[in-house]
Amino acid sequence: MKIAIRYYTKSKKGNTEKIAKFIEDKINVPALDVTHPLEEEVEQLLLVNAMYAADIDKEIKQFLRNNKDKIKTLININSAASGASTLKAVKKVCDKEGINVSEKEFHTIASWIFINKGRPNEEDFARLEAFLQEVVVNG
C-alpha cells in the first residue's frame, strides 16, 4: 500500500510536526511538510494538521487542490489547543475537490502558550500508535 504523510504547522511549539515525525518513525514513511507535492498516487494520505483561527490553514487547502488527483483516501490527523477537530474543515475542501476522506480520524489536544501544557503527551502518542495500527496496518 502506497502511503504518504504531509503536515502543516506554523506554531513555534511544533506539535503538528512532532506528531508527523512520530508517525514517520512508526510506519517508516517520510513525513514532509505540505510544500512537498505528492510525486505519485497514494492509497492513503495521512494529513497532519491543526486548527488556526477556527479553520485549517490556506496552505493545506492549496496542497489538497494541487494534489487532488493523487489521493485515493485522506486520513485526517490533527491537534488543537482549543480541542476542536479539523475534520469538518478538511472534509469541506476534499468534498469540493473529489477527495475521499476516511471517517476515522485521530484528534488530540495540543499545548499553546500556557494552555494544555505538555500536550501531546505519552498517552496521546500511545493512542496515536493504536490508531495507526487500526487504519494503516489493517486498512
Q: What's the pLDDT tens digit per position in 100-121?
A: 999 999 988 666 666 667 667 8
Q: What is the pLDDT of residue 100?
A: 97
Which grid cell is 72? 485515493
Q: What's the pLDDT tens digit per position in 65-101?
A: 999 999 999 999 988 766 678 999 999 999 999 999 9
Residues in Cβ contact with 60 at an 8 Å cutoff, skipping those fewer than 6 apart: 8, 34, 47, 49, 90, 93
Q: What is the pLDDT of residue 115?
A: 65
Judge whether 104 and 132 are in contact, CB under 8 Å.
Answer: no
Q: What is the pLDDT of residue 10?
A: 77
Q: What is the pLDDT of residue 13?
A: 59
Q: What is the pLDDT of residue 113?
A: 63
Q: Which region among 36-45, 54-63, 78-87, 128-137 has the lowest average model confidence (pLDDT)?
A: 78-87
The arrangement of secondary structure in 3-132, i.e. its CATH architecture, is: 3-Layer(aba) Sandwich (3.40)
How many CA within 13 A on the CB side of residue 1?
16
Q: What is the pLDDT of residue 120?
A: 79
What are the phi and psi torsion angles at 9 (to 5°)?
Answer: -145, 145
Is residue 12 pLDDT above 70, yes or no?
Answer: no
Judge whether 128 and 106 are in contact, CB under 8 Å.
Answer: yes
Q: What is the pLDDT of residue 108?
A: 87
How is the chain split into domains, by residue range?
Answer: 3-132
Distance between CA atoms of residues 70 and 102, nearest Å: 16
Backbone Cα Rg of the chain: 14
Torsion of CA 74, 49, 83, 120, to 10 degrees: 110
Q: What's the pLDDT tens digit per position in 26-41?
A: 999 999 999 999 999 9
